[in-house]
Structure 1
Amino acid sequence: MLERTNQNDEITHALSTLSTSISFKSKQMMFDDNRVMETILPALLNELYGYSLRDLNLERHNYPAIDLGDTFKGKAVQITADGSKSKMVDTIGMLEKHGLNNIYVDITFLIISNDQKISYQKQGYNITIINLSDIAKDICSLPTDRFEPIYNYCESQFRSYFPNNKQSIFQPIISPSKDPGEVLSNFLNCNGIDLSDSWYKATVNDVRDNLIELKNILAQLNDDQRWFIFKVMDWSIKHNKDDMNEYCIVPLSHMTTGMHNTRDDYKVKNTADSLESIKILYYNEESWKYDFRHFSISFIRKIEDFNYFCGICVFLNANNKSSNLKDIIIDCDFSFIN
């Protein structure tokens, strides 16, 4: 089978399966996916149809009538699992009640469930009713240069719905998380931290709480994100021993070596961007210390200038426990830290 044909099939299967999943969950009054779709779909619809939609609920909680809006084009999108006529009538009524019909007259109802599409029009509006099947069809009809970035985005956001769900390029493993030890004397000693010194405005409990916070953040990341962090720390332990207590870095070239297609390149960039957005990862063209492009990771809390990622690297190296890095970062098992 041609690769493009296979990708078309994957997109169609993923969005079809997603519709079915949302249908079943909606009948059980489980609407979390509906809200998540409101955050995912603006970028997809903008790229696919040339809109400038924004998630209006981010601007105002429970924004009335519509979910996404493009004020320049007067375009509004209501994302709904309810494809009934009464839902559409109520939406237009709410739009008019809040005076939003003065801004938005081009209305799209995007049905994300398996509800049947109906016909509905109202004078003064251009109303379109589409579902995820229509979106899949429009994506599959794109030329290659436009198809690839949208396919990559869908694969990233809807990965669990793709057939033959591919493993992460960083070899994902998921395990339950475990808290660090109670005393942490070994961890503190390896990092030269003497909490009895009045300079430190922290206690052992503070340090342990910070480690647990980091563990919980890691546990909420996806597989690609955790493996990305792992590779940064692994490189630092192996190649940056002299400065490991201050810098946890990896050259950009090390992260991209061996990747020869746009899909893998996209995953690296997308993963890096996602970690930058939560202020854990930073990209540097160069610095006073390093004259090559690199990523650095940082997690600083109670103790000023103490980077917990560096602290974990120093601790593992000092105790010849580098092999436990995977347990800590990938499996979120901080019980190795004592």
Structure 2
Amino acid sequence: MLTRGIIIGKVVDDLASLKYQIETRNKLGQFDLSKFCEDFIRELMNTVYKLNLKNLNTTRSNVPGIDLGDEKNKIAFQVTSQKTSAKINDTLSAITQDQKSKYTIINVIIIGEKQTSYTLNTALTSEFNFTETNILDLDDILRQIVVLDIQELNIIYNLFLREFRQVRIELEPIDENGNFESSYFNYLEAKPTSPPKNGVKLIGPTDEKYYKETFKEIMKVYDRLSNVPRVTREILAIIVDRGRSGDSYLDGGKFNILPATLEKLLGLSSNEIIIEINILENANLVYIDEDEIGGRSAHFLYINGEWLNTLFYWMRDEGLSIRTLLNTMDFSILDE
């Protein structure tokens, strides 16, 4: 069971990173918050303050004055990343007569850190009994979180696990090229860029009758391998090194291995092996077929394709490292 310290530590760290991110956005003049962010704050506030807030922008886009409302408790919130006095005054001046009749308490929650003091329009503040205590920020919410019971802390912990990464993504500044810090593109392996130029060491002279057709097949092999994660490509090298084979592709057929052997060799679960096989199979690099072991039928994992098998036989005969090739994807070793 998670302790109070672990839960509070995570919330403190996440809110600190959120404050930094908001400050960065504000410096760039980006103050807008998405509905997703408003919904995250709504769920957080409902747990922390035991409310039943609803997102008023769900039924009507950009409701003036306020974003979240609890009609039963007659309390409403404007959610904003802007902390200025002007923003507070603008919020109060935008509240409609209908909202005044539904909500007797108006609060502003700053997603970030509020100012130490405010210069507010006294005509507006008196109308709503609004004081600086009605301006909350993330530190105010955190002070309430640390005194919650463990059941409520668990609700908040699960909320942060489930939603916080998306909140950060929603709030990240995007540059002119559409890049942002948490983009999955930042985690992609660089796609290999060293295809063969002629491949003549493997397929023979360029003036041979079937050279062009054969070179196209080698390029297809390169492209298929390029679209598979590097660690998954290594399984092909393990099949060659630890599996069954003949003296050549024509003599012994395709390299193959029992999936159960891979499972034992790599210390992976059956499900993990299935995932790796699915990736390779989707790229047309392997397939599964039946064969016999001691007269009994069994399923084997085969390396697929004439030219991929031929490449591996050639490299084995030449004493070249198949693992190195699959890691570097430097197919210039086939060139003269």
* TM superposition score normalised by structure 1: 0.46
